[in-house]
């Protein structure tokens, strides 16, 4: 079993790694051999959307996921996540890897059709609406935690934005791993994305308290 990175952040400002984060790590570990073969020695652009504490991107950097020629461009809307990402990488001696966190909405600051490998543990909790994104000058710390969790209708508002842009953002041959809870109705997602020509495979799933979490792989 691959070791879990050490992270130490202010969890009043940044999402604390939880069952969902650990399920993503397990899914990536399970897929490691497949990814090495799939990408071989190709230079890969890797984007974790919503990196939070940086635990997932650090795990990928530590273990050369998807391969050892990766450039890591994690994104988040939370300004505190940028520092946490860099600190987690440094705490786990990943300084030799190419890492450049970007504060942006989803992947909007990354050139279209550039991402070879995408990972997203989204705000998936169903809620009346997605919280309003505050200006930095007026943000309270708790606002960023709400944005980390609450996913609007069916918990899918943010995830659908990403899924709807997948054709535009992914490089040819790109692969995305996305986490869902049962209340997101991942089976409906699979149906829709399949009609759009994406292969959708369940990679990992687990009961976590009263929630059932799953990670799906999307590729062409």
| Owner of token pair 């505050």 | 134
Nearest C-alpha neighbor of 112 from the set 26, 203, 174, 50: 174
Burial 173-187 (b: 16+ CB within 10 A, else e): ebbbbbbbbeebebe
Taking the least distance from each CB to ligand SAM, the nearer of 46 and 158 is 158
Beta strands per DSSP E along 149-208: 170-181, 199-208
Q: How far is the CB of 50 from ligand SAM (least distance, A)?
A: 2
CA 154 to chain centre: 19
Residue nearest to ligand SAM (CB): 50
Residue 66 engages ligand SAM in binding (rule: CB under 6 A): no
| Smallest separation, CB 41 to ligand SAM (Å) | 27
Q: Is 204 in the site for ligand SAM (CB under 6 A)?
A: no
φ/ψ bin of 193: left (φ > 0), alpha (ψ from -120 to 50), beta (otherwise): alpha
- Per-position x/- string for 10-39, each x denoting binding to ligand SAM as judged by CB under 6 A, each - no binding: -----x-x--xx--x---------------
Q: How many residues bind ligand SAM (CB under 6 A)?
A: 26
List contacts with ligand SAM (CB under 6 A). 15, 17, 20-21, 24, 49-53, 55-56, 75-78, 81, 105-106, 121-123, 144, 147-148, 158
């Amino acid at each position: 079993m691959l070791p879990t990175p050490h992270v130490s952040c202010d969890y009043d400002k940044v999402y604390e790694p939880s069952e969902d984060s650990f399920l993503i790590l397990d899914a990536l570990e399970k897929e490691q051999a497949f990814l090495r073969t799939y990408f071989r020695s190709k230079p890969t652009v890797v984007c974790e959307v919503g990196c939070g504490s940086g635990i997932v991107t650090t795990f990928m950097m530590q273990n050369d996921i998807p391969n050892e020629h990766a450039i890591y461009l994690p994104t988040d809307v939370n300004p505190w996540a940028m520092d946490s990402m860099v600190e987690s990488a440094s705490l786990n001696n990943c300084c030799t890897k190419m890492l450049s966190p970007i504060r942006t909405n989803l992947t909007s600051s990354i050139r279209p059709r550039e991402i070879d490998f995408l990972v997203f543990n989204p705000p998936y909790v169903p809620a009346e609406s997605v919280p309003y994104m505050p200006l930095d000058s007026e943000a309270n710390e708790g606002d960023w935690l709400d944005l980390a969790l609450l996913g609007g209708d069916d918990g899918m508002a943010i995830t659908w934005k990403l899924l709807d842009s997948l054709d535009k953002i992914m490089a040819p041959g790109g692969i995305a791993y996305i986490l869902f809870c049962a209340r997101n109705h991942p089976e409906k997602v699979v149906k829709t994305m399949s009609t759009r020509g994406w292969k959708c495979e369940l990679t990992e799933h687990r009961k976590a308290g009263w929630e059932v979490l799953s990670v799906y792989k999307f590729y062409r």
